[in-house]
Amino acid sequence: MHPIFRGIRKLTPVQAIVSYYFLAIAISVGLLNLPGVHQQGVQVNFIDSLFTSVSAVSVTGLSVLNISETYTTFGIAMLMIILQLGGIGIMSLGTFVWLLIGKKIGLRERQLIMIDHNQHSLSGVVNLIIEIIRLLLLIELIGALLLTVYFTQFYDTFSEAFLQGLFASVSATTNGGFDITGESMIPYHNDYFVQIINMFLIILGAIGFPVLIEMKAFLSNKNKNFRFSLFTKITTLTFGILLLVGTVVILALEMFNSFREMSWHEAFFTALFHSVSSRSGGLVTFDITEFSQGTNVFMSALMFIGASPSSVGGGIRTTTFAIAILFLINFARGKNEIQIFNREIQLIDVFRSFAVIILAIFMVLFATIALSISEPTLSITAIVFEITSAFGTCGMSLGITSELSSFGKSLIMILMFVGRVGLISFLFTIGGRTTKTKYHYPKERVIIG
């Protein structure tokens, strides 16, 4: 066994992921302070530089500065590298950790990723990671090519079109959410082609690598006994339902408000795009401060849920949300077991979901109170939106990011970090080791209501 492999294996998953992120953030701060990164005359102080690094590594996209006015083309190239470190890096590390955890808790990983039979070996793991990196780079490249060709009509030179196309594709696929247009995707508000490409890229990044790998296995049709894992079914269904509900609710809430002068297709695309984007993408095609407060609250809830586990997105994750809903439905029916897709959800996963949800709610509540004290002039709506956006590593903002105090920026950085690493990663290290209770007490009922 290779010594690096053995060294990493000694780390708990959360240690591995946290170490990776600290390293990646340190590298990012370095890259963003190389000579030639900043445009002439632009000064970026340390906290803003750190904020940009954390935001890029966590592929959130909240930004305290205007990227296109701050960085040179070289700087933008560095930013793209950082997005890859964040987006693709975590996917690979995620796979790695999952396979290790799979072994540690005696779980056969074939249940999770049902394609390859030799994942127990180092070469199997390496092959899988190479496959993930190759797959995501391929997606980014296709996106970049399509957008570049299309953008040539808007830009004078091919290299300018290519820079725009490549950055847009990387930012969408890694769900980075940064923009070099200076106003996100608002210039493409009526350009459905660009929006569709972007939405596809965002979804491919946010749907989770097991889904991508299983889809590939399914399409390649090599394995006759192939079936989609329960995980893939649940996360894809939840993702789809969230997109649908998101679109319908935004449309309903804004129809007579900010959408009232739009054509039906314009309104539909605006609703759809922001529904997709609130999973984790963070790009906008519309000035979202024009949305009503109700829509802002609703989008905060969507961002809080976030994207699939083992994807580039954050939040409590789709499966956590799905299990909570499934639990509620089953409980209301008087059933003790959660059955779906001819499978039963294990009790420990139900417990994990609850732990994540309760912890996340406390975190958001605590952060809201803290920010409302440190930023007394900002509305609670904008604060909650910013917090859920950071925790969901989404990156949409009601425009308050650059106004935040240093304390506020630090808190948002922590939230981006926690959102990206995932509360469950912390709980996982614990969840694996079940302390056997040595003695039992008599059970006693408690009045709940």
Write down the least CB distance from residue 363 to a second copy, Å: 12
Encoded one letter per residue, x for contact with a second copy by CB under 8 A and - for no contact, window 212-241 reads -----------------xxx--xx------
Write down the least CB distance from residue 322 to a second copy, Å: 8
Q: Which does 301 bind (CB under 5 to 8 A by kind): a second copy, K ion, none?
A: a second copy
Contacts of a second copy in 330-369 (CB under 8 A): 331-337, 339, 342-346, 349, 351-359, 361, 365, 368-369
3-class SS at 340?
Answer: strand
**What phi and psi values does residue 376 have, to the nearest 5 degrees?**
-65, -20
Write down the least CB distance from residue 423 to a second copy, Å: 7
Contacts of a second copy in 59-88 (CB under 8 A): none
Q: Which does 180 bind (CB under 5 to 8 A by kind): a second copy, K ion, none?
A: none
Contacts of a second copy in 112-141 (CB under 8 A): 112
* Cβ-based neighbour number of residue 142 at 10 Å: 16
Contact yes or no for 310/320 (Cβ under 8 A): no
Per DSSP, helices labelled H in 277-405 are: 293-305, 318-332, 347-374, 380-391
Write down the least CB distance from residue 368 to a second copy, Å: 6
Encoded one letter per residue, x for contact with a second copy by CB under 8 A and - for no contact, window 272-311 reads --------------------xxx--xx--x-------xx-
Find the part of the chain contacting K ion (CB under 5 A) among 161-169, 278-286, 337-345, 349-357: 278-286
Contacts of K ion in 35-64 (CB under 5 A): 60-61
Instruction: Report the b/e string of 315-338 with b at 16+ CB within 10 A.
Output: bbbbbbbbbbebbeebeeeeeeeb
Q: Which does 116 bind (CB under 5 to 8 A by kind): K ion, a second copy, none?
A: none
Contacts of a second copy in 42-61 (CB under 8 A): none
Q: How far is Cα 300 from Cα 287, in angstroms, rounded to an integer?
A: 16
Q: Which does 241 bind (CB under 5 to 8 A by kind): K ion, a second copy, none?
A: none
Find the part of the chain contacting a second copy (CB under 8 A) among 130-138, 272-280, 281-289, 430-438: 430-438
75/210 with CB nearer a second copy = 210
Contacts of a second copy in 362-391 (CB under 8 A): 365, 368-370, 372-373, 376, 379-381, 384
Residue 414 CB-density burial (10 A; 0-12 exposed, 13-18 middle, 19+ buried): middle
106 is an interface residue for a second copy by CB under 8 A = no
- Which residues neighbour 357 within 8 Å (Cβ) at sequence distance 6 or greater? 316, 320, 324
The sign of the torsion formed by the CA atoms of 128, 235, 86, 158 equals positive
Q: Which does 183 bind (CB under 5 to 8 A by kind): a second copy, K ion, none?
A: none
448 is an interface residue for a second copy by CB under 8 A = yes
Q: Which residues pair with 340 in a beta bridge?
A: 343
Contact yes or no for 320/422 (Cβ under 8 A): no
433 is an interface residue for a second copy by CB under 8 A = yes
Residue 29 CB-density burial (10 A; 0-12 exposed, 13-18 middle, 19+ buried): middle
Contacts of a second copy in 163-202 (CB under 8 A): none
Find the part of the chain contacting a second copy (CB under 8 A) among 150-158, 162-170, 269-277, 440-448: 440-448
Q: Which does 8 bind (CB under 5 to 8 A by kind): K ion, a second copy, none?
A: none
Q: How far is Cα 209 from Cα 174, in angstroms, rounded to an integer?
A: 12
Long-range contacts of 199-202 (CB under 8 A, 24+ apart): 199/272, 199/273, 199/276, 199/281, 200/143, 201/139, 201/140, 201/143, 201/169, 201/172, 201/173, 202/172, 202/173, 202/175, 202/276, 202/277, 202/279, 202/280, 202/281, 202/283
Binding-site member from 323, 396, 412, 415 for a second copy (CB under 8 A): 323
Tell me, by CB under 5 A, how many residues bind K ion.
6
Contacts of K ion in 160-199 (CB under 5 A): 175, 177
Residue 115: what residue type? I
Contact yes or no for 157/182 (Cβ under 8 A): no
Residue with tokens 């935040």: 404
Binding-site member from 102, 282, 306, 309 for K ion (CB under 5 A): 282
Give the interface with K ion as residue ranges (CB under 5 A). Answer: 60-61, 175, 177, 282, 395
